[in-house]
Amino acid sequence: MSEGWEDLFPLVSVRKLVREISDHNPLLLSSGEEGREAPKPREFRFDLSWIMDDRFLPLVSKIWGRRVFSSDPIDILNIKLKRFKTYFKGWGSDKF
């Protein structure tokens, strides 16, 4: 962006949106004129302190052991990782 463009559109912002499966991320361009932006999805972050919790490894084994109805190894891995993320997103935030 040029300084002239930023002077004309001072409220414009660009934000990367999170995609579950693809390694490509769409961009959200906001003019700032709407008065509110789309809510930001909470990103998944693995916390090493979870390993110290006695419940963590049994839960991981249970989630990882669930059957996946696909024969493609990449699909199987993506599905298992998505299950893990869905379950553990925000897990332990009240404890650690």
The pLDDT tens digits for 58-85 are 999 999 999 999 899 999 999 999 899 8
Tokens encoding 9: 């559109």
* Residue 95 pLDDT > 60: no
Predicted model pTM? 0.53
Tokens encoding 5: 């463009």
d(CA 80, CA 68): 8
* Residue 7 pLDDT > 90: no
* Residue 96 pLDDT > 60: no
Average pLDDT, the chain: 79
Q: Report the 10 Å Cβ neighbour count for 24.
A: 6
